Structure 1
Amino acid sequence: MSQRNLEDNLDRSRVPGIRVVAPPHGREAELRLVEDVISTIEAGAQANVVVLQSDQGSGKTWLLERAAALAARRGFAVVDGMSPSVATGRPVSLVGGRTARGEDDRIAVLAAGCEAQVCGRLRNEPVLVVLDDVHWVEPALLHAIGLVMAKLGAAPVLWMFALDTAHAESANGQLLHSLVRRQRVQRLGPLERLSGAAVVSLVQGLTGATPDPDVIALCESVGGEPQSVVDLVLALRQEQSLVISGGVVELADGALTTDVPSRVEAEPGARLPAAFVRMVRSRLGRLSLRCREVLQVAAVLGDRFPPQDLAEMLEERTSHLLGPLQEAIRAGVIDSDGDEFTFHREPVWLVVLGTVPALLRSLLHRQAATMLVEQGRADAAAVHVVHFVKPGDEDALRIIRDAAVGLLPTAPRTAAALAIRGLEIAPPGSDDRLVLATSAVAALVRMGDLGAAVDLATEQLGTCGESASSSLRTWLATALMLRGDESAAQGVLAGGGDTRDPLPDLLLLNTFSGEERCEVVAMAERVLAEPGSHSDAVRAAALTVRARVRWREGELSEALATAEDAIAVQPGLPEVCQVDPLWMRAWMLTRVRRLDDAFETAEQARRVIDEHNLGVLVSLPLALRAEVRLVQGELAAAEADATAGLRAAERAGTSVYEPQLRAVLVMVSLRRGDLAVAARHLRCLEDRVPGGPPVLLRCLLSALLTAAGRGVREAMEELREVVGDAGSRRRLVLEDPSSTSWVVRTALGAGEVDHAGLVVVTAEEIAAGNPGHSAFAAAARHGRALLEGDVTGLAGLEDLYGDDVWAAASLVEDRGSMLRAEDRDRAMSELDQAMERYDDLGAAWDAARVRRKLRRLGVRRRHWNHETRPDSGWESLTTAEGKVAALVAQGMTNQQVATGLFVSPHTVGFHLRQIYRKLGIRSRVDLARIAP
């Protein structure tokens, strides 16, 4: 909206150029209030007044523009009475020059002109009159507007005024409040500082791109006023400090150093853009000298500081800090957070710290370190010691070293920053240097920066030579193993020249390997045969290897029990690989279809990772959860977890869990019928995992894709070698209970009855040896029924499959397929049910397959038009699920519901499981309790 005044602009009836209201940038509440007032005027045809009072630059003009656009869209005539810019410093003239005799005459003339213009618009529509920067308006104009407001009190007019808070007590401010005292008035302001989504929205509007976290942090650091954000972004663009890539705007010089690494940098805020530093320093310059000095000392303490520490540094009473700290809070430089004060944002803290001369900064760091050591807070002191320690200062270096070692389990990021800074100071060849190097590499591994860990460890091993500790080599090997480079990891350990038994290190590392090589199994058994000779961590690793071996041998209960033993003996403070027993347990539970237990174990792994700051393993619980959700039929949730897991793995540089994550994405895409996407994920799996993914997993996924795209004969070409080998066949059946029926079905379709029989016999052997695991019993009986063409053999299997929705749906489909020759009507009914299940699960590929079968029976079923439903709650239920829920809530049994709906009890059970999942309940009692 232009800055013209009423004299020039009263002839306008609409605000030109505003067709779409821009995003509200954090002013949603204020705009809603304005909209409510507009609605009130529309309903009651009476005048209202809105007074907006806020600081300069807080977005008053922007809000008035949005309000004007909103009113125009609602059919209001908009009269722009915005006053000239502050820079002119001239009062507004409304209609006519200063020719009237006396002030009263002038007010009367102005009032008459204003009334005529407003009333002219009122003949056709309600009116909005907007007056910005009231503090610059000529008093005569305010008096005139007051007269018109009083006269048109019953007319549908909305008067909006904006006033700078700094001028609230000025003559114009007091006059405005006096004039509106008897009106129906709504007061807005002060406008809150922008942050979060509002800043993102504003920057997007200015740059056409989404700001990255660093740009957001800078924008939130300049006071939160919209004008300040605009000024900063424009300055950054002018100085070429911003770049846009892939729809994201980021800093041209790279990411900012944040958190602890920024605290140990020699030059604070060296990477902050110059335009930002100038703006913050300009704000600081408006503070009193006393306030600035207190803030400078506070900044040396860190971006957070207790007031008592600040008082001790200044050698003053805490009460003497009241004035300067309150001034800093009012200025938005610091905030109060519990027992501490915090700088408003880290970039603000860095700018303040940068205003302290380097020599004084070093002396203040020494003073702070001395204070903290005397308080018994050596770990906190270490952050200050790095800023003044000199080569040869063993006491200072010891503080850094001990802090890095002590913080490693609980704060690896801090430990890494301290240790790396300490390496810059420690003399070559010293014991301190070796300890610092090991601590730094260990911390980098734990926090999930494997690239930096490998680079640093390789560099330090090159300088330390034979004196390098086995611990440093172990951490380097661990990093390499997590990256998927097992051969390089073994080479690091083998080349260490260490005379002690390398068994523990090798064993711990091999818990990451999915293949049980003979030497690894032998090492595990040696450890377990020597009670008390090895640490709990090593014993847990050995038990994990044994559990995996027992699983592969088909001893499922024993494998699960051994995994439980591994979890029980692992140390309270786990090393990186000590969540592996949890991984093993969850993986097994998923395959025996104890899905609730599997999900809880995945959550247990997540809690361990979070509690012990093992950021490198963030992708592990996501991989476990994704598998569980895939089996439960939650394709969207499985895809989300797998995608998040891949992002986490990419950030950390880990690849050990990528096969499982990619496998989930392959299956999700395949179920949806996105064969090209599924093929792309499979290629990524083969290309990005060093050494290739596990052979069996790759073979099974590839065969599934081949069957979908080219046919079962081609799929069997890929499966034949696996099916023909007894060991591989056993592992294939154990990989997924539902794989048995799929392989049997595929082999029969390709005319390879012998291979189908081999798979069935293997499944039956596993089921016979594990009577407590019903999913494998169901798989064996399912395969046998398919092999013999015995539809009666499929009876009762759905309950045995448990929560495996895919196995249950394929069971219904198989019943329909097997009945086509002898009972067409029943076959159609079964296939219809199967198609409904697949459609409900979003499995377009499976549903299309069933439609083809129905077409061969002479039945055409159109593709379902899915309604957009939420993921949970009553509105998420399908029509069929809603019917089942209503009847079950009335107390009916599954059999009674099935009879009433002309479906099978198994179908009712299937729908109930989906209902429980979507409503977040566990029982029929819960359903009856919450039913509407």
Structure 2
Amino acid sequence: MGTPLSENSAQWDRSPGPPLPLRGREDETRKLERLVLGVRTGQARLLVVSSPAGTGVTRLVAEGAALATLRGFSVLDLSPGAFPARELVTGHPHVAGVSALAAQLEPRVVQRLRQGPVLVTLDDAHRAPMSVLAAVSTVMAELGDLPVGWLITLHGDQFANAVLQDMATVVPCDWIEPLTPLSDDAALLMAADLLGAAPDPDVASLVGSAGATPSAVTGVVMGLLAENHVQVVADVARLTAGPLRCGTAAAVSPQPAEQLPASLRRRIAGRLAVLSPEAQDVLQVAAVLGNGFAPDDLAEMLGKSAAVLLRPLREALAAGFLDADGAEFVFHREPVWRAVLGSVPAPMRSALHRQVATMLLGRESQDVVRIAVHLVHCARTGDARAVAIVDEAARILLPSSPEAAAALATSGLRITEPGEPGRGALGVTAAAALVRTGRLSEAVELAREFLQPDDPCHVLRVPSGDAHELSPELVLLTTLSLHDLDAAACLADQLLEIWEHHSSEVLVGALTVRAVTSWREGRLDSAVDAAGAAVLVRGEPAGIGQGDPLWTKAWILTRLGRLDEALDAVDQACVNGVGVTSPVPFALRAAILLARGDVTAAEAAVAAGLAASDQTGTAAFPPPLGAVLVLCALRRGDLVAAADGLRRLEESVPAGRTDPCEVELRLIAGQVALAGDGPAAAIAEIRAAAEDPVLRTRLLLEAPTATAWCVRTAIAAGDPALAELLASAAEDLAAANPGHESVAAAAAHGRALLKQDVAALVELEAGCSDPWTKASLAEDIGSMHLETDRRQAVVAFHRALSGYDGVEAEPDSARVRRTLGRLGARRRRPAPGRRDDHEHEPRPRTGWGSLTGAEQEVARLVADGLTNRQVARELFVSPHTVGFHLRQIYRKLAIGSRVDLARIAP
């Protein structure tokens, strides 16, 4: 006898409550709802789901059970594990077994009907004995006039399917056959649910490579988690080992599948193994050709006609390995291509690369870059022609794709030995490309390897016989200027000693380095003169990474407060940089606009810079843009965005006193700390720089307002000794650089704060043209009058309030307005469209109220169903900027997906 069905069996009375939402099954969910609603009207109904394993049928059953439970149903689960192990044997076993099972099942359904409608679920019906299916059919017929819903799934078993066809004649029936593949969006939402965070593009690419079924998505995500391949940073799931190589960088890798998780490689290998041997061979040879390939090239490689390839290619398309893209086939996802390529044994990969290179070299019209990609895998050391082709290809890529150029050139060095012809030239190209991509330590190492001293002046030159259109001296100078400015200054001095032997590009680079180092040392006239000389000899930018000397001039003029001249310099400079310098002109313009008080225009310039950075594939959060973004957030009073921007800025800038951004970063960190935690915390951020004689000069020169801010904050923090040190240093700086009005005014402002000299502050305010500085001077005057002349204090605070309102300095305006309120003075009405005083209180850190105006706009558009690119077009910003806002939205609202956002958006 089989085991009877127990009233208390969990297998019969499971009450599912799926913790994660069902993704990509909108049509199927509507059929589930139709089933449940139909039964609630008193009519029995049947829904059959016939779909292969792994497509999500079990999850669909759980969703149906959950929907029914929410609507007051009792759920009875006929899982195959609860059925008898063998059919009852009495007389006629089938008849006896069916009758006994039906006799057990019917009372249980009827008992539940006393409480309301019932949903009976039977998942994997093909695994159930035929007697069980017959018993279900019998009970279904007996209870056909009662509110009982039947939800049954199977995986294409012809006998079970025949029984279900009979059931469909007993009660009204609907079919789902089969479940369709998940869309890309649904797969990503499912991955986000499993990860608890939004997948970044690399994680999304891996998820999309697994296959378009829930089982595949779950498998790859669980594999990523089990192998510790994923970490969550700012509510975004990223790969622990860093971004995936892509494009040329992946194509030249000696181990193309090395970065892929083992679970994904196994999954793709399993999918590959079920193809016919012919299709497997075709796919592996195609993978050597590249992520995309022409059918004619594949036919030539295989020595077959294109017609013969139709069947294996069609098989590969059906299996989801390939997509057709115009005249070419492309692998469905880059990780799929890399996994297939990695499945080719290494010796055969090299031989096939050699075959491809030979094929391409034999053609009249040659694609140098494509040939070079194959040569780095198969050329033998000493092959000067191969090295020359790789160098030419890397230089072709250098202007538009520095990452690809760096990958190709550095990979090409594998096929050369020290001293071989062409190695030096290729090394110079590689170093130049590494500079553009921001990999400065590697660039320095390469540049020093391929440049050697061979004259009394110790000027570094490229080895003889390796002539190069890129100046090796300029490559090294540029590399050092971004990595070790002291070393760059030494090299610049060497080069300028024999300036007549060098090109204008080298002279511009050396003069630019001299301008920056002179500025850092507090020799302002020398800095201005060197920057001006660099501009005079400038030609077309070299494109190595140094950029236009007008940028340096604009940078210096901005810090001297000569904003109109600075803006003119930016307007005259070349519009775009290259590689790591691509955001520089936008960052310069943004800093100038912010200093002029136009926060909105400054933010627009930052957005344009981020878009330029996206297009070149460089860092997603370049430090120059990040700095302005933090300051804009502070100006608007968005402390949450400022603190988050500072964190990301600190992550993007390496620590160390040689880094050019170090002092600027500490000053910005101090300003954020002052806004959030007060003056003591702010001084803690800048103390190391303030007490260091070298760094102190740089700190005071970061902005015309830096001296007053530092002195004022030190006084507020109860550290008069530090305030005196800073004020004295500012006076020394002004004395050493007569003729620079902003430097003299900054020193006078600092000393007046220390001496509580109202008359000096009044004089400075009268001669000040910078709107924010003028407002801060008025506020300082008002503060000093508080104890002695209340009426003068109110007048001064009103001047400060007007000035702060004019430059959108919301926290400053709010602070002064609160002071006026405490004094009992009537506060001025805010400008039209501005928030009232109570709205200037700090934003909450979470919830909808914590979102900035820009974040709320992005949130509403995303909630309406727009993609990041569509939102970007609507708001005239870059997709990267939208992504940045969306990450902040997820964090502040404590959600993990676009669906969650759509659910809670007002």
Aligned mates of 1:288, 1:533 — CA distance in 2: 57
Residue type at the aligned position of 1:672? G
Residue type at the aligned position of 1:162? T
SS in 2 for 1:424: helix
Cα distance per residue 1:469-500 (max 9 Å; x no partner) = 883343344333324x3102223445679763
SS in 2 for 1:22: coil
The structure, 1 or 2, with the larger RCO (C-alpha pairs under 8 Å, 6+ apart) is 2
- Confirm or deny: 8 A CA contact 1:781 1:793 kept in the other structure: yes
Paired-residue identity, %? 28
Q: CA deviation at 1:287?
A: 0.5
Instruction: Tell which deviates more after alignment, 224-233 or 680-689.
Output: 680-689
Does residue 721 of structure 1 match 2:721? Answer: no
**1:446 corresponds to which of 436, 443, 447:** 436
- Confirm or deny: 8 A CA contact 1:221 1:345 kept in the other structure: yes
Q: CA deviation at 1:284?
A: 1.5
Q: 1:233 to 1:643 in 2, by over 3 A?
A: closer
**Aligned twin of 1:488:** 487
**Aligned twin of 1:761:** 763
**1:387 corresponds to which of 351, 357, 377:** 377
Aligned mates of 2:771, 2:301 — CA distance in 1: 69
- Confirm or deny: 8 A CA contact 1:58 1:225 kept in the other structure: yes
Q: State the number of aligned residues.
A: 816
Does residue 131 of structure 1 match 2:122? Answer: yes
Q: CA deviation at 1:210?
A: 10
**Aligned twin of 1:885:** none
Does residue 805 of structure 1 match 2:839? Answer: no
**Aligned twin of 1:122:** 113
Instruction: Tell which deviates more after alignment, 189-198 or 430-439.
Output: 189-198
Aligned mates of 2:581, 2:651 — CA distance in 1: 20
Cα distance per residue 1:119-169 (max 9 Å; x no partner) = 1221124323221212223334323323433443443333221222xx26x
Does residue 183 of structure 1 match 2:167? Answer: no
SS in 2 for 1:440: helix
**Aligned twin of 1:111:** 102
1:272-291 pair list within 5 angstroms: 276-291=264-279
**Aligned twin of 2:44:** 47
- Confirm or deny: 8 A CA contact 1:25 1:201 kept in the other structure: no
Aligned mates of 1:524, 1:633 — CA distance in 2: 36
- Confirm or deny: 8 A CA contact 2:33 2:67 kept in the other structure: no
Q: 1:369 to 1:599 in 2, by over 3 A?
A: same
**2:143 corresponds to which of 152, 161, 171:** 152
Aligned mates of 1:20, 1:778 — CA distance in 2: 60
Aligned mates of 1:621, 1:651 — CA distance in 2: 18
Residue type at the aligned position of 2:568? A
Does residue 298 of structure 1 match 2:286? Answer: yes
Q: CA deviation at 1:735?
A: 9.9
Q: CA deviation at 1:595?
A: 2.6
Aligned mates of 1:480, 1:702 — CA distance in 2: 31
**Aligned twin of 1:455:** 445
Residue type at the aligned position of 1:444? L
Cα distance per residue 1:72-99 (max 9 Å; x no partner) = 56654332212259xxxxxx54997142
**2:18 corresponds to which of 11, 16, 21:** 21
1:187-206 pair list within 5 angstroms: 187=176, 189-190=178-179, 192-193=181-182, 195-199=187-191, 201-202=193-194
**Aligned twin of 1:599:** 603
Aligned mates of 2:173, 2:655 — CA distance in 1: 57
Q: 1:841 to 1:428 in 2, by over 3 A?
A: same
1:772-783 pair list within 5 angstroms: 774-775=771-772, 778=775
- Confirm or deny: 8 A CA contact 1:583 1:624 kept in the other structure: yes
- Confirm or deny: 8 A CA contact 2:593 2:602 kept in the other structure: yes
- Confirm or deny: 8 A CA contact 1:438 1:472 kept in the other structure: yes
Aligned mates of 2:461, 2:303 — CA distance in 1: 51
SS in 2 for 1:419: helix
**Aligned twin of 1:81:** 78
Q: 1:315 to 1:245 in 2, by over 3 A?
A: closer
**1:415 corresponds to which of 400, 405, 409:** 405
- Confirm or deny: 8 A CA contact 2:492 2:513 kept in the other structure: no
- Confirm or deny: 8 A CA contact 1:507 1:541 kept in the other structure: no
**2:639 corresponds to which of 631, 635, 638:** 635
SS in 2 for 1:869: helix
Does residue 871 of structure 1 match 2:851? Answer: yes
- Confirm or deny: 8 A CA contact 2:203 2:239 kept in the other structure: yes
SS in 2 for 1:175: helix
- Confirm or deny: 8 A CA contact 1:590 1:628 kept in the other structure: yes
Instruction: Tell which deviates more after alignment, 349-358 or 693-702.
Output: 693-702
Cα distance per residue 1:297-354 (max 9 Å; x no partner) = 1111112223343344335454443322222222232334455433234343233223
- Confirm or deny: 8 A CA contact 2:752 2:760 kept in the other structure: no
Cα distance per residue 1:820-841 (max 9 Å; x no partner) = 3xxx4x369999xxx9966523
Instruction: Tell which deviates more after alignment, 590-599 or 15-24.
Output: 15-24
Q: CA deviation at 1:291?
A: 1.0
**1:428 corresponds to which of 418, 422, 435:** 418
Residue type at the aligned position of 2:603? F
**Aligned twin of 2:868:** none
- Confirm or deny: 8 A CA contact 1:449 1:652 kept in the other structure: no
Q: 1:800 to 1:202 in 2, by over 3 A?
A: closer
Aligned mates of 2:407, 2:733 — CA distance in 1: 52
- Give the TM-score normalised by structure 1: 0.73
Q: 1:733 to 1:65 in 2, by over 3 A?
A: farther
Does residue 310 of structure 1 match 2:298? Answer: yes
Instruction: Tell which deviates more after alignment, 50-59 or 393-402.
Output: 50-59
Cα distance per residue 1:628-660 (max 9 Å; x no partner) = 232233333334444333333359999434554
1:493-512 pair list within 5 angstroms: 493-494=492-493, 500-501=501-502, 503-509=507-513
Does residue 467 of structure 1 match 2:447? Answer: no
- Confirm or deny: 8 A CA contact 1:31 1:67 kept in the other structure: no
**Aligned twin of 2:894:** none
**Aligned twin of 2:870:** none
Instruction: Tell which deviates more after alignment, 659-668 or 246-255.
Output: 246-255
Aligned mates of 1:217, 1:782 — CA distance in 2: 54
Residue type at the aligned position of 1:454? V
Residue type at the aligned position of 1:376? Q
Q: 1:510 to 1:145 in 2, by over 3 A?
A: farther
- Give the TM-score normalised by structure 2: 0.75
Where does structure 2 lack aligned partners over 5 or more consecutive residues?
A: 455-459, 858-905
Residue type at the aligned position of 1:488? A
**Aligned twin of 1:900:** none
**Aligned twin of 2:893:** none
